Chains A and B, each alone.
Chain A
Amino acid sequence: DTGVSQNPRHKITKRGQNVTFRCDPISEHNRLYWYRQTLGQGPEFLTYFQNEAQLEKSRLLSDRFSAERPKGSFSTLEIQRTEQGDSAMYLCASSLTGGANIQYFGAGTRLSVL
């Protein structure tokens, strides 16, 4: 257990529905990242927060995706009007400014869109 918590672990939804995932980072970590991983691929960067500020969002990311990190603590990732292509593992990682730049990953949320 890395100390990064993600909920839910699994989500099955029908196409067109909205879903929201939550990530609780390691408490003192100010950097938070979301990645997406599909089968047979490496993780793909989605977005990055430093404290409560969203500093980068992947250009590949559809406008249906939005993320927040109110108060610089937990973060949520929402997908609106889900599509079958959104089916993937959504990974959250946190790290501390300075030091070894090591990102610690949560267990992930596996999304299946039917």
Chain B
Amino acid sequence: QKEVEQNSGPLSVPEGAIASLNCTYSDRGSQSFFWYRQYSGKSPELIMSIYSNGDKEDGRFTAQLNKASQYVSLLIRDSQPSDSATYLCAVMNAGNNRKLIWGLGTSLAVNP
């Protein structure tokens, strides 16, 4: 079992729809959770961070965390073609030198 798992996709949604991205992790000691967006050939760019159970909203993005289920998700509302990218889930355990453990990423395509 991989430490951080994501559906590889591709996930395809029409413009204006809600895109839902999911991530599960195996380390119950993880405390910090991040969603990064990565365009082809570019480096990861932080979209959202979440540290406690529940929802966190920032503009069109909502991160959801459920530590009991070891599950974190990202919702993108009113999806735009510019949201087309790979979304990487990363998990951190402060007792592990705070290095990020990454999923493989989910490819999202938003169709005009």
Contact = CB atoms under 8 A, between A and B. Distances in A.
Interface of A: 31, 33, 35, 40-45, 48, 55-56, 89, 91, 93, 95, 100-108, 110
A90 B51 CA distance: 27
A33 B49 CA distance: 18
Interface residues of B, number: 24
Nearest to A58: B99
12 contacts: A33-B100, A40-B104, A42-B102, A45-B99, A48-B99, A56-B99, A91-B43, A91-B44, A93-B100, A101-B92, A107-B43, A108-B42
Nearest to B100: A103
Given A41-B104, A42-B105, A56 B45 contact: no
Interface of B: 4, 32, 34, 41-46, 49, 51, 88, 90, 92, 94, 97-105
A45 B93 CA distance: 13
Nearest to A42: B102
B98 A101 contact: yes
B60 to A, nearest CB: 20
A102 B46 contact: yes
Contact of A42 (B4, B32, B42, B97): B4
Contact of A48 (B41, B44, B90, B97): B97
Nearest to B45: A105
B98 A95 contact: yes
A48 B96 CA distance: 11
Contacts of A107: 42-43
B99 A33 contact: yes
